[in-house]
Structure 1
Amino acid sequence: MAEHVINIDKEKCIGCGMCRKDCAAHNIVIENHKARVLSNDCIMCGHCAAVCPKNAVTVSGYDTEPVPMEGEVRLKPEEVLDVIRFRRTIRQFQNKKVPKEVVEQILEAGRLTHTAKNAQDVSFVVLDRKKEELEREAVRTFRKLKVFADWFSPMARRVTIDEHFFFFRAPVVIVILSETKLNGALAAQNMEFVAEANGLGILFSGFFTMAANASPKIKKALEVSKGKKVVTTLVMGYPAVKYQRSAQRKRAAVKYL
């Protein structure tokens, strides 16, 4: 039996055609003033269930129900731009625990993020009891690589890889796994917004991501399944630094054709 099945309640369906018009897979027709699904071979995006004015369409196989929208939900453009404008990568964190409910909100943002072809292929590893152990393993890996990097990069020669080189004593580290970089990156961006809304600062640790993908030992500890890879690592906590202004950026490279 298929994991997810689209069901249409004929009693509730009014044949308005909203589901048919919005179906990306062209998988719904209207017959005798009622909607009918052509095949279960579908991306299961859920648009049909979301758009139905009578809640006649459901998708089976999920352990949560759709959340009804009460009124319009819109962000203020100026505030969104300011969040992006004043966002800085944080490497100085307070010695302050992040509440469990905040971490769960951040994970929920990742879970709810749309994915290409509705793959829903993103998963998360919250480093807790193994955080220091995996950081030490990543340090060992990078110290070996640094010998070669020092030959080519003056910046690499200035860097000291200490025991907290990757996580900077941050209280929370979330590793994002996915089959595609795009889906993992989309999830990470939404998770960052929710973290910022809770007053947290974020570091996207490209270095730990590199070490995790290069080290069989780290991948095994993270239980990276076949077909997936570490896309990015979110290092987060309450900032111990306050920035006073935005950083300058180049002009946007835009063409109107």
Structure 2
Amino acid sequence: MFNVDKNKCIACTQCIKDCPVHVIALEEGKAVINNDGCMKCGHCVAICPVEAVSTDTYKMDDVVPYEKDTFTIEADHLLNFIKFRRSVRRFKNKSIEQDKILKILEAGRFTQTARNSQDVSYIVVSEKLNDLKVLAYESLKQKGEAILANLTPETEHLKRYAHLWIHSYNAYKQDPLQNDRLFFNAPLVVLVTSPTPINGGLASTNMELMVNALGLGTFYNGFFLHAAQDNQAILNLLGIQDSKELISCLVIGYPDVNYKRTVPRQEAKVTWL
């Protein structure tokens, strides 16, 4: 529940004005929260000038007071940071510290979700990564063979992927260390799951920003998502009940490459109304 300490409340009405679902009102000169309709977004906690609002639903230790010096990012610096990010597929043979992994997960945990559903979950794979690789390569090989055996005009565009997946499987079986073209010998994989794709996608994006801020590199592994689709062995290993809930796969490691500049992009397609 979210509660207001009446001894602290100064009836400034800021929480009332800012509540998205309008469940806060003044009663006898003090703010009162109707928890039956509360969506637990925490706006009231964030806006109260005297720290009168608290909750026992979440850990209040998560709450950090705003300080301009540590909370502000220059807009041009942020834009350059976004422009400079690269999908990294060359990694050092170096494990990732636990505190950095936790910061990446925190970036996902504090990302906004529709209706404050907080329905995003994470699977961190390191110890069982080799097992996951074997299953992923086998799955893509089987999918590739199925495509080639049942080519139609509608699946013709998948032909090159089918050949690639089969070739990658054979190369990996020959030399797993030198020919890992699916995970590129990265030490860590973080999978994002959610029944709400937009929530999982938003969390993934913030996590990627944190990855880069920590001096790490990552890429989104779309081939793995394809391998996991309807593959019960992979889903069982990951503990996922429904493959449709798997939103993204971030392959993470220390970059073994140094980029020197940003790259050009197409002009933005914008409609001004």
Query: Structures share a fold, TM > 0.5?
Result: yes
CA contact (8 A) 2:228 2:243 kept: no
1:63-118 alpha-carbon deviations (Å, 9 max, x no partner): 34222223362111122111221211111111122111111111111111111111
* Residue 244 of structure 1, aligned match among 241, 246, 260: 260
CA contact (8 A) 2:229 2:243 kept: no
The 1:215/1:225 distance shift into structure 2, 3 A limit, reads closer
Partner of 2:250: 234
RMSD: 2.0
Deviation at 1:206, TM superposition (A): 1.1
CA contact (8 A) 2:235 2:243 kept: no
What code does the residue aligned with 1:17 have? T
Is 1:200 aligned to 2:216, yes or no? yes
The 1:30/1:228 distance shift into structure 2, 3 A limit, reads farther
What code does the residue aligned with 1:10 have? K
Identity of aligned pairs, percent? 38
In the alignment, structure 1 segments of 5+ residues that lack a partner are none
CA contact (8 A) 1:17 1:35 kept: yes
Matches within 5 A, 1:92-103: 92-103=90-101
CA contact (8 A) 1:6 1:40 kept: no
CA distance in 2, matches of 1:129, 1:39: 42
Partner of 2:67: 70
Match of 2:229, SS?
helix
Q: TM-score w.r.t. structure 2 length?
A: 0.86
Partner of 2:189: 173
Deviation at 1:40, TM superposition (A): 2.3
Q: Which has the higher helix share?
A: 2
Partner of 2:168: 161
In the alignment, structure 2 segments of 5+ residues that lack a partner are 173-179
Is 1:191 aligned to 2:207, yes or no? yes
CA distance in 2, matches of 1:97, 1:15: 52
* Residue 138 of structure 1, aligned match among 136, 139, 147: 136
Query: Which segment is superposed worse, 60-69 or 118-127?
Result: 60-69
Is 1:83 aligned to 2:81, yes or no? yes
Partner of 1:40: 36
* Residue 212 of structure 1, aligned match among 218, 228, 235: 228
Deviation at 1:149, TM superposition (A): 4.7
Partner of 1:108: 106
Partner of 2:6: 10
Match of 2:251, SS?
strand
Deviation at 1:228, TM superposition (A): 7.0
